Amino acid sequence: MVAVVTGASRGIGLAIARHFLRIGARVVVGGLDPQETEAAVRGLAAEAGDDRVAAQPGDVSRLDIAEALVAAAFERFGRLDALVCNAGIDIIKPAVDYEPEEWDLILAVNLRGAFLPARQAARAWIQRGQRGGSVTMTSSIAARAGIAGLAPYGASKSGIDQLVRTLAVEWAKHGIRVNAIAPGYVDNVMAGVEIHSDPATEARIRAFTPMGRRATVEEIAGPFIFLASPAAAYVTGAILAVDGGYSAQ
Residue 84 has pLDDT above 80, yes or no: yes
Write down the catalytic residue from 134, 139, 140, 156: 140
Can 158 be counted among the known catalytic residues? no
Write down the catalytic residue from 61, 134, 153, 185: 153
DSSP 3-state assignment of 238?
Answer: coil
Contacts of the segment 228-232: beta carbons below 8 A, 24+ positions apart = 228/1, 228/3, 228/20, 228/81, 228/82, 228/84, 228/134, 228/136, 229/23, 232/134, 232/177, 232/179
- High-pLDDT (> 90) share of the chain, %: 90
Q: pLDDT-based confidence at 157, cuts 50/70/90?
A: very high
**pLDDT at residue number 191:** 46
pTM score above 0.85 = yes
How many C-beta atoms surround the C-beta of residue 234 within 10 A? 6
Instruction: For residue range 50-59, list pLDDT tens digits in order.
Output: 899 999 999 9
Q: pLDDT-based confidence at 204, cuts 50/70/90?
A: confident
- Parse the chain into domains and list their residue ranges: 2-248
Topology classification of domain 2-248: Rossmann fold (3.40.50)
Instruction: For residue range 29-52, list pLDDT tens digits in order.
Output: 999 999 999 999 999 999 999 899
Can 93 be counted among the known catalytic residues? no
Write down the catalytic residue from 61, 139, 157, 185: 157
Can 157 be counted among the known catalytic residues? yes
